[in-house]
Amino acid sequence: MDKALVIDVGKCTGCRQCELACSYEHTGTFNPARSRIAVFDFHEKGRFVPYTCTQCDQAWCQQVCPVGAITNEDGVKVVDAATCVGCKVCTIACPFGTVNYEPATGKVIKCDLCGGEPACAAACPTEAIVFTDVSVQGFEKMRAWAEKTDTAPQANA
Amino acid sequence: MHHLIIGAGPAGVRAAETLRKLDGQAKITLIDGEGEAPYSRMAIPYYLSGKIDEQGTWLHRPVDFYAENAIDLVPGRVASVDAGAKTVTLEDGRSLAYDKLLLASGARAVNPPVEGLDGDLVHHCWTIDDARRIAQLAHEGARVVLMGAGFIGSIILESLVARGADLTVVEIEDRMVPRMLDETAGSMLKRWCEKKGVKVLTSTRIGGVYEGGGELNIALSTGEAIKADLLVVAAGVTPNIECMHGTGVESRSGVVVNSRMETSLPDVWAAGDCAEGCDFSTGDLSTLAIQPVAVEQARVAAQNMAGIATEYHCALPMNVLETLGLITTSFGKHDGLQTGERATALDEEQWRYIRLEFHDGKLIGAQTAGHVNMIGCLRGLIQGRMPLGPWKDILLREPHRVAEAYVDLSRGVS
């Protein structure tokens, strides 16, 4: 994966266009509840935080899936809805909370980067969400906090 | 180099895959005790409810995966291990030599000491073969009794209802899933099941099972007796470690492993339901027969077997369960510590409940009913040992804001 969603929370105005775009791309409806990206509103701090899967290397969701329904497509972890049985074990194994069960379909959903053209980034009017080269510093920062979760087996070598 | 893996469940298969990725040349043998295409028990409820066929339970489709990756799948059961000579003997007398051995032999369902559990109308629901037998008997209108409303019992409950069975659940404890849910959540789940037409008898013991005239007569501790066409026993599991007897390996209920999944014997590792390793919540040794732990331990074991020193940071107990549409979860020390603090929020009308347990400014355990959104954050907060700072007081008042707390804390915007 050479490109990733890089989120600059300082630029987010909380317009939630990303949620609508994501929902429309994946379900054909404008329903933020079915979006794979969620905007958190920390209004006391005047801050909005768009939040979604970082396609982490640990791939907790993929590792734990009992039926091989989550595949790694060039770094992007993609749920095959036809194979998913809806057991939800990935939703508790992902320590970031970015795989969710969707009662409407009986399957789990997560960000799949829209096959390489993320609708959220395209819809963001302020470039708070950009789909860009992973070498951009912001992405490393996002990954760094992900590492804070010391659930990861630590390789010493 | 010959890596020999005993057991072809999720732990064994994940270890074999990991070893193949790390070493293209090594010989890898996977011994499959059930002689089936390797599958996941977690998928059995969905097979039973008719949502998937048998192939849908397979860990890899197509099953050619093993041949294509030069993983030698050997059907057979291991009788004994000679860790000195580094050989494994199968029940049919065949002997296999190894350089490195992984015990991933899993667990098996056990019977409580109750008379009459050996008949043809009594089955566990643990293997795919058990599921096939249940599928033959649990037809539309069949009277089915389920012994045990623990995690396994409660997850197959839905499948039995989906098959149209007339179901009665008998549980010794005072609520459903007593080791995962507290009285509030476990009782809520019971009321939910009753609302959906399932009879749930808690604080009730099955005293004896008697077969006659093609049906079962099941005696209960309440003095009543119920007739049934099928009894499904879901009363717990025990690790499969008999093949290690005589090796001198350190064991308790499972084979004891350290943080590298090494057993006390040289060149022998263990992972999954048969292994007893560090429990994140207590710091003690325990066997946590759950899929996430099995596959994570298997990956760590395989990396160490391949010479990449890797540590596993203790297993976190966690479960997710859907019972006739009500989703419940539990994480970590879900019943808390005496010295800790607790927050609960209950909405009986909406069938929603959340309980958080805190200690030392951190989250140490949680359980939920009716919550599905971003539930994995509970694992992140607990296992990441994230200091909650000002969020602790907020969560004590409003525990349902836990995902918000996680995003705020992990994004460093506090």
pLDDT attached to residue A151? 47
pLDDT attached to residue A152? 47
Q: What percent of chain B has pLDDT over 90?
A: 96
Pick the CATH number of A56-110 from 3.30.70.20, 3.40.50.300, 3.30.390.50, 3.40.50.800: 3.30.70.20
Residues whose CB falls within 8 Å of the CB of residue A36, separated by 6 or more in sequence, listed in order: A22, A26, A52, A53, A98, A100, A109, A110, A111, A112
In eight-state DSSP terms, residue A56 is -
Q: B207-237, pLDDT tens digit by residue?
A: 999 999 999 999 999 999 999 999 999 999 9
Determine the Cα–Cα distance for residues B358 and B310; give it in Å rounded to an integer: 30
What's the full length of chain A, in residues?
157
Cβ contact, residue pair A93, B379, below 8 Å: yes
Q: What is the mean pLDDT of the segment spanning A64-82? A: 94
Q: Do domains A1-54+113-146 and A56-110 have the same CATH topology?
A: yes
Domain borders along chain B are 2-108+237-305, 122-233, 333-410
Q: To the nearest whole angstrom, how far is the Cα of B395 from the nearest Cα of chain A? A: 15
Q: B113-142, pLDDT tens digit by residue?
A: 999 999 999 999 999 999 999 999 999 999
For residue B384, list chain A residues with Cβ-Cβ distance below 8 A.
95, 148-151
Q: B190-199, pLDDT tens digit by residue?
A: 999 999 999 9
In eight-state DSSP terms, residue B127 is S
pLDDT above 80: residue B157: yes
What angle, rounded to 10 degrees, do the helices at B291-305 and B10-22 form? 30
- Class of domain B2-108+237-305 (CATH, top level): alpha beta
Domain borders along chain A are 1-54+113-146, 56-110
Determine the Cα–Cα distance for residues B379 and B363; give it in Å rounded to an integer: 9
Q: B243-280, pLDDT tens digit by residue?
A: 999 999 999 999 999 999 999 999 999 999 999 999 99
What does pLDDT average to over chain A? 88
pLDDT band at A134 (very low <50, low <70, confident <90, very high): confident
The interface predicted TM-score of the complex, written ipTM, equals 0.92
Q: Is B402 helix (H, G, I), strand (E, B) or coil?
A: helix
pLDDT above 60: residue A138: no
pLDDT above 60: residue B413: no
Q: B309-348, pLDDT tens digit by residue?
A: 999 989 999 999 999 999 999 999 999 999 999 999 999 9
pLDDT attached to residue B266? 97
Cβ contact, residue pair A67, B329, below 8 Å: no
pLDDT above 90: residue A135: no
- Best mutation target, B320, B378, B386, to test chain A (most A CBs within 10 A): B320
- Class of domain A1-54+113-146 (CATH, top level): alpha beta
pLDDT band at B60 (very low <50, low <70, confident <90, very high): confident
- How many CA atoms, within 13 angstroms, populate the side-chain half-sphere of residue B310? 22
For domain B122-233, which architecture applies? 3-Layer(bba) Sandwich (3.50)
pLDDT above 50: residue A77: yes
Determine the Cα–Cα distance for residues B76 and B67; give it in Å rounded to an integer: 17
Q: What percent of chain B has pLDDT over 70?
A: 99
CB pairs under 8 A between A and B: 161
Least confident of A144-153, B68-77, B369-378: A144-153
pLDDT attached to residue A112? 97
Q: Is B2 helix (H, G, I), strand (E, B) or coil?
A: strand
pLDDT attached to residue B166? 97
